[in-house]
A and B are shown apart, each in its own frame.
Chain A
Amino acid sequence: MESLLSYAFMQRALLAGFLISITCAILGVFLVLRRDAMIGHGLAHVTFGGVALGLFLYLTPLLVALGVAVFSALGILKLKERAGLYGDTAIGIISSLGMALGIILVSLAGSFNVDLFGYLFGNILAIDPEEVWMALILALVVLITIVLFYQEFVFLTFDPESARTSGVQVRRLDKLMAILTAVTVVLGMKVVGILLVSALLVMPAAAALQVARSFKEALMISASVAGISAIAGLVIAFYFDWPASGTIVAVSGLFFLVLFQARSYRKPAQEELNERV
């Protein structure tokens, strides 16, 4: 472990990987329960277009991707509301447009280069200090926003109609959630790449939902699964020289299987069973 931590790139990867994974996992619980799990997948494809645009224009790809992702997330929301499209159809439309744009730009630039490869499959081990700072700040902003709007988000996720008649500003919060998702997807892309980012959103949340009995518990389990998977995945990847992105996701997949099995063993606490109903 000491030798591993003596590498600056490993320190950066562990720090960024840990915090970003936890952010994805917490937001993921909301997305999965809102039946929006695939939005991560869709936005990741859009992000491909954003990255390609950034590389094409010689701008910071991550920033361009961030802008494009936020714009698209709001677009998906609008399509759902205005055009009355199903969520997955709206995601399908926007994400394939993003991907198409990306393919055209990449071909115009004549460069399917190493950079782009890194964005597709993840390059957390190559994250530079500046990106670590950006990732830490963005992840904290997302987490703090979720804490501040916690009650609203939970109510909105559980029952949007009643939330509305309790004075919750449903449309505004939907927008906020879309923006948070876009930011989180771009962050997650830095860790595991475009092709696996939805796993960071969905896997820990799905694992947590196997056993959680309250919303707080679900968030806590999801975050723990994600945090442990990120660290364990990076350590394993380091020692066995495996790709970090695949390893992190595989570890979280193991967690899912374990909790899936544990589900049937989790019974209501004894004193509750004794309670007169």
Chain B
Amino acid sequence: MSTNSSLIHVDNVSFNFHGLKVLQDISFSISPGDFLALIGPNGSGKTTLIRIILGILKPSSGRIVLMGEEVHQFTQWQRIGYVPQKATLLDPYFPASVREVVAMGLISLKRFPRLLTRQDESSIDKALDRVGLKGLKSRRIGELSGGQQQRVFIARAIVNGPDVLFLDEPTAGVDADTQARFYDMLAELNRKEGLTIVLITHDFGIITKHANKVACLNQRLFFHGTHEEFCSSQAVQDLLRGEHHLVCHRH
């Protein structure tokens, strides 16, 4: 695990919340081009870990290095895209059009006073096209279904062409068809454009199909390795036995 070749370096991170140990001694690295699936039961600290990596929460101890910079000094936000968990739980009456929400994702590319240009409009169109929502551009976001809202947030996260995309259960509430198309799109971005992806999911099908690295979290990081190692790991098999049927061959 060398810091220089890795895009993101998590070093001995622990997090306590009101005396409760949420995360303990987490260390791992993410390399450019990785498609990392972060899995673990509810309450295992997945969301907390991502929020720490992104500098939203301060770890109780340990450090995060993002693209060679300490996270609290990090400035290259235009290289990061983030779809928070349950992004759908926003105020349903918030007066923002779909276009306005996606436009927020462009802010990291711009200098003060960050006004939108015609080129930005076409980036917005392209991002909405990618998630299949181009026609709903001027609708109020609250009028969309939960799954459609989630897709708007995905468009917002990719509109600035990031190098790393963090997705926290992005397809909760998205129909199966759209899910399949969405993950195919992610896999394509990952393969063709080298987009690094960090995905929190409970869906083992996706891990099997797309991820090249897997991290299992439950307060501690009890597994981190390649997809193949994940499939052959006895510890993982024991842990998941009865809960999931692991299909580990790829087509």
Contact = CB atoms under 8 A, between A and B. Distances in A.
Contact of B56 (A164, A218, A276): A164
Interface string B93-126: 1111101110111011010111110000000000
Nearest to B148: A277
Question: Can you list the 10 inter-chain pairs with the closest CB atoms, starting with the nearest?
Answer: A167-B77, A275-B135, A214-B97, A218-B95, A212-B95, A213-B140, A166-B108, A151-B114, A155-B104, A167-B108
Given A159-B90, A164-B55, A215-B100, A152 B107 contact: yes
Contacts of B135: 272, 275-277
8 contacts: A151-B114, A155-B107, A165-B80, A167-B78, A214-B140, A215-B97, A218-B95, A268-B143
Interface string B39-56: 000000000000100111
Contact of A163 (B80, B96, B100, B104): B104
Query: Which of A148, A152, A155 has the most chain B CB within a 10 Å cutoff?
Result: A155
A125 B54 CA distance: 53
A167 B75 CA distance: 7
B138 interface: yes
B148 to A, nearest CB: 7
Nearest to A166: B108
Given A148-B112, A161-B56, A154 B100 contact: yes
Contacts of B105: 166
Contacts of A154: 96, 100, 104
Contacts of B143: 268
Interface residues of A, number: 35
Nearest to A151: B114
A275 B90 contact: no
Contacts of A268: 139, 143
A158 interface: yes
A89 interface: no
Given A214-B100, A275-B135, A151 B107 contact: yes
A159 B84 CA distance: 10
A33 B91 contact: yes
A148 B136 CA distance: 28
A162 B96 contact: no
B82 interface: yes
Interface string A165-177: 1111000000000
Contact of B139 (A165, A166, A208, A272): A272
A204 B115 CA distance: 26
Interface string B131-148: 000011011100100001
A167, A212, A217, most chain B CB atoms within 10 A: A167
Nearest to A160: B56
B95 A167 contact: no
Interface in A106-155: 147-152, 154-155
A167 B114 CA distance: 12
A158 B114 contact: no
A166 B93 contact: no
B94 A165 contact: no
A65 interface: no
Contacts of B115: 151
Interface in A214-265: 214-218
A214 B95 contact: yes
